Amino acid sequence: MCSVGDDLFDDNGLMSTIEVSRSKTCNKCKTAETHLVLRNKDAYCKSCFLENVTHKFKSTLGKSRLIRPGNRVLFLYEDNEASTALLHMVRDGLNLNTPKKLNFCPVIVFIEDLYHLTIEERHNVIEQANKVIGEFHFDLFLVSLAQYAGNTGSIDKLICQASEVLPISENDEHELFRNVQPNTSVTNKKELISILKRNLLIEVAKHLDCKFIFTNEISQDIAINLLTNVSLACGNRIPIEAGFCDDIDSQVKILRPLYLFDSKEIEFYTKYNNINYTHSRNEETNPYSSIQTLLEKFVVDLQANFPATINTILKIGDKLDIVKGDISCQLCKIPICEQSSQLTSEESTRFSSLVSTSKIDLADPDLSNKFAPINGKAYCFSCDELSKCLLKR
Amino acid sequence: MCYVSLRNVNIKNISNFAFQTGYFLISMADLKIALEFGGGAEVLVGNQKVHEVAFPSKNKVWTIGDLLYWIKDNILKERPELFLQDGSVRPGILVLVNDADWELMDTVNYELKSNDRIVFISTLHGG
């Protein structure tokens, strides 16, 4: 038996916990007083930390070698700290006079979908978004998700620049789920919203002549999303949604410049840069109400005791490769797995569903056709399941 | 701003403590600290971001651990499980002591000093 690594454990069979660096000086500059601990062990001073964050952001963008000077980039602004921190990093980068200056042209979009808030609170969020983005001197465009869901026609009529023009009504949530069966689970509703938002973002980017979209997911969001995709049988989305770049659309690439940041780094960055940001009221949700919230609880709780959790999940995502196929799913636009000589996981799932729900004859020569995927279908496996809750496919 | 002062300390226990340890009460100023809640954590304390509080410091050393229970008993308005868990803050809530990470200060065992500013920031989206 292999005994490599056995010496990592103490005599009592438990892994020893990592001790926070007891040194009073910063891990990097070795002179200044420490201000925060990252990865539960490395202590940094304020200036080294901020320098490190800026460097990490720029190197993530630089290494990808995708953005050319003058490119228009669409930023998704959301009601959270990561969004505001991202805009701050970009503004800092654009204001530089050194060769490290960022050279693209940001355009900001805010998708209004805060249906758990009152009308007044929703207006306040938009007002705040306007104020924050105004302080950074960027242009803000507003779109209502409910309007998009209700009328998938011309995108130019939905995009507006003045907050007074954006239609906000109490009926928006009803409008959004007009084509969805009333008894649809929260999990499926969240899934539909995320697919809808992605499609809307791509349409807005095309309309505003942007080749790139920057979203603000941090490492924790990506880890939660990866496990959600596994749980909802959307394995084909993992390689696209777990990395830095989503290039499924031929014209617009979705990039995640914060995918290596954790929530602590973002919070300390906003705190140390005095970014005034007021968070709107969170939706009061039971963690057991949907798969997404349950996995958030799982990842956050596990991360508290095992600081490598999120990193490990992300590294697994990095190793997965995209499914090859010519046909794309009509809902999520991800390529559908092609027929292959080997048994696919979709066929295995259908097979176990078949054997556990009906009596089958193993000698039946037609058996393999019963669980084979249907040729020429419009949806991938998970969207096929999801589309069952749509009234009008 | 709200100004809260802790007055429900058991006087008998204090005198016993002072007698046993030979630490006698000297009139001292109260321990004044500022509590700040952000990132959504302010919802749990009645939507008020800053709370200025004072504790009688002459008889007792206050640690953040004690402070957490005091917050739970006095200013936490709803669902304490979203703030406290196993004698510390819930995972996902960051604690800053005078703008520095509390992990550098032995977390719940940090002894509060007058004019300290303790910030609680929630990093969780849902719940």
DSSP for A15-53, written as a single string: BPPPPPP--SB-TTTSSSBP-EEETTTEEE-HHHHHHHH
Residue (of B77, B76, B59, B58) closest to B67 by Cα position? B76
Q: Tell me if A389 is assigned to some domain.
A: no
Q: Which of A62-66, A262-266, A351-355 has the lowest mean pLDDT?
A: A351-355
Range of the domain at A85: 28-280+288-319
**pLDDT range class, residue A213, cuts 50, 70, 90:** very high
Nearest Cα residue to A294 out of A145, A190, A182: A190
The pairing of strands B31-38 and B50-55 is antiparallel
Give a yes or no: residue A91 inside a domain: yes
- Report the distance separating Cα B67 and Cα B36, nearest Å: 13
pLDDT of A18-67, one tens digit each?
A: 555 566 788 888 888 888 888 877 888 888 999 999 999 999 988 888 88
Q: Does residue A157 sit within a domain? A: yes
Residue A297 sits at the chain B interface (C-beta within 8 Å): yes
B44: exposed, middle or buried (Cβ count in 10 Å: 0-12, 13-18, 19+) = buried
Question: Taking a C-beta distance cutoff of 8 angstroms, is the pair A227, A186 a contact?
Answer: no
pLDDT per position as a tens digit, A272-282: 888 877 677 77
Tokens of B107: 């977390």
Secondary structure class of A187 (helix, strand, coil) = helix
Contact B101, A267 (CB under 8 A): no
Question: Is a pLDDT exceeding 60 seen at residue A312?
Answer: yes
Interchain pair A279, B38: CB under 8 A: yes
Number of separate domains in chain A: 1
Contacts of A287 in chain B (CB under 8 A): 126-127
Domain boundaries along the sequence of chain B = 3-16+37-122
DSSP A121-146: HHHHHHHHHHHHHHHTT--EEEEEHH
Residue A23 lies in a domain: no
Please give the pLDDT value at position A90.
Answer: 92
pLDDT tens readout for residues A223-239: 999 999 999 888 888 88
Distance in angstroms (rounded) separating the CA atoms of residues B51 and A245: 43
For residues A155 and A151, give the distance between their C-alpha atoms in angstroms, rounded to a whole number: 9
Q: Which residues contact A254 (CB under 8 A, 6 or more apart)?
A: A198, A201, A202, A212, A213, A215, A245, A246, A247
Quick check: B25 and B59 in contact, CB under 8 A?
Answer: yes
The more confidently predicted of residues A210 and A26 is: A210
Lowest mean pLDDT among A168-172, A340-344, B92-96, B109-113: A340-344
Could you tell me which of B61, B45, B50, B59 has the C-alpha nearest to residue B113?
B61
Confidence (pLDDT) at B10: 46
pLDDT at A380: 82
Cα-flanking dihedrals φ and ψ of residue A26, to 5°?
-60, 140
Residue B127: the pLDDT is: 39
Nearest to B104 among A37, A271, A279 (CB): A37
Contacts of A79 (CB under 8 A, 6+ apart): A114, A125, A129, A279, A280
Strand partners, A76: A109
Q: What's the rounded Cα separation, in Å, for the pair A373 and B68?
A: 56
* Contact call for B124 and A35, based on CB within 8 A: no
State the Cα angle at A187 between A111 and A141, rounded to 5°. 5
Place A6 in a pLDDT band, splitting at 50, 70 and 90.
low
Interval A311-317 mean pLDDT:
91
* Gap from A253 CA to chain B (nearest CA, Å): 26
Structure tokens, A160: 């507006």
Q: Which residues contact A99 (CB under 8 A, 6 or more apart)?
A: none
Helices of type H across chain B: 11-21, 64-74
Whether A332 is covered by a domain: the verdict is no
Q: How confident is the model at residue A12, as a pLDDT?
A: 55
Here the ipTM equals: 0.75
Put simply, whether B124 touches A (Cβ < 8 Å) is: yes
Q: Are strands A253-255 and A212-214 parallel, antiparallel or unpaired?
A: parallel
User: What's the DSSP call for residue A68?
Assistant: P
* Residues A32 and A40: beta-carbon distance below 8 Å: no
Q: What is the pLDDT of residues A107-139, one digit of tens each?
A: 999 998 888 888 888 888 888 888 888 888 988
By percentage, how much of chain A surpasses pLDDT 70? 90
Partner-chain residue, chosen from A37, A285, A303, that has the shortest CB–CB distance to B101: A37
Distance CA A163, CA A165 (A): 5
Pairwise CA distance, residues A326 & A196, whole Å? 22
Radius of gyration in angstroms for the set of CA atoms belonging to chain A, rounded to a whole number: 24
pLDDT bucket at B13, cuts 50 / 70 / 90: very low
Of B39, B101, B119, the CB nearest to A279: B39
**Cα(A320)–Cα(A173) distance, rounded to whole angstroms?**
36
Q: Helix %, strand %, coil % for chain B, to 5?
A: 30, 30, 45
Is A371 contained in some domain?
A: no
Position B101 scores a pLDDT of 87
Q: B105 CB near a chain A CB, below 8 Å?
A: no
pLDDT tier at B76, thresholds 50, 70, 90: confident
- Residue A152 has a pLDDT of 60
CATH number at residue A267: 3.40.50.620
Residue A272's closest chain B neighbor by CA? B99
Distances (CA, A) of A248 to A202, A252, A322, A333, A387: 11, 8, 10, 7, 21
Q: Nearest CA to CA, how far is B67 from chain A (Å)?
A: 21
Which of these ranges, A69-83, A143-157, A358-372, has the smallest mean pLDDT?
A358-372
Strands B93-97 and B100-101, sheet pairing: antiparallel
Residues on chain A touching B100 (C-beta within 8 angstroms)? 34-36
Q: Is A20 on the interface with B (CB under 8 A)?
A: yes
| Mean of all residue pLDDT scores within chain B | 74
The token pair at A108 is 């900001």
Residues in chain B: 127
Q: A44, A284, A302: best mutation site toward chain B, by most B Cβ within 10 Å? A: A284
Contacts 24+ apart (CB under 8 A), A6-15: none
CATH code for the part of the protein at B3-16+37-122: 3.10.20.30
The distance of Cα A306 from the centroid of its chain, to the nearest Å, equals 22
Instruction: Check CB contact under 8 Å for A264 and B119.
Output: no
The answer to the question of residue A359 being in a domain is: no
Closest by alpha carbon to B84, among B102, B71, B103, B97? B71
Q: Hey, is the C-beta of B99 within 8 angstroms of any chain A C-beta?
A: yes
